[in-house]
Amino acid sequence: MKTLVRTLPVFVIALAAASAAWAQEPKVDFVRDIEPIFQASCIKCHGLNPRDPHHHPAARLRLDDRVAAFKGGRSGKVIIPGDARRSLLYRLLNGPVPRPKKAAGLDSDKDIAAMPKAKRGQKWKPLPAREVALIKAWINQGAVWPASVKTIPAKAWHARRKTAKETSAD
């Protein structure tokens, strides 16, 4: 009982701190916050090429399709809902990650390159900190990706966005 009396306040304080941190983290919305990042920075490599049905997305990972994205890529699952720190998709936004043995093969002695992948001979340019934080929060909040969202090839998405902006400016 004595220990309970002593540890209970600590527990209550920890709980309060945790809920305060939770409250500070804005609720992420896939369509508003995440899809635009994937479209602007990832899908040109991690999507299907509508003009070439035999084209493989980089590392066999698609970020333009919910079911395919959760299946993952060459290294296995890349999104672990509720756990950004274990999610390869989030980890690679902070720097290269040692390649899992399972995926050994091509380039197996090298780390998996940081994302978004730099062009050959160029230095890696990380996403803006705000976008990295949004992706982290999105995964930690359960990686909600509504089944109704039909993601389309990056080019078509940008065109649609541009028209939407033009019409709303009228």
Q: By CB under 6 A, name the binding residues for ligand HEC.
A: 41-42, 44-46, 58-59, 61, 72-75, 78, 88-89, 92, 107, 112-113, 115-117, 127
Question: What is the DSSP secondary-structure string of 90-118?
Answer: HHTTSS-BPPPGGG-STTTTSPBPPSSPP
| Distance in Å, CB of 78 to ligand HEC, minimum | 4
User: Considering the complex, what minimum distance in angstroms separates the CB of residue 167 from ligand HEC?
Assistant: 28
Among the listed residues 51, 10, 31, the one whose alpha carbon sits nearest the alpha carbon of residue 153: 51
Q: Pick the closest to residue 79 from 44, 39, 38, 118 (CA basis).
A: 38
Q: Which is nearer to ligand HEC, 44 or 155 (CB)?
A: 44
Q: Which is nearer to ligand HEC, 29 or 36 (CB)?
A: 36
Helices marked H in 25-91: 35-41, 66-71, 88-91
Output 48 or 58, the one with its CB closest to ligand HEC.
58
CB of 133 to ligand HEC, least distance (A): 13
Cis peptide before 57 (omega within 30 of 0): no
Q: Which is nearer to ligand HEC, 68 or 89 (CB)?
A: 89
Residue 157 Cβ vs ligand HEC, minimum distance, rounded to whole Å: 14
Amino acid type, 120: R
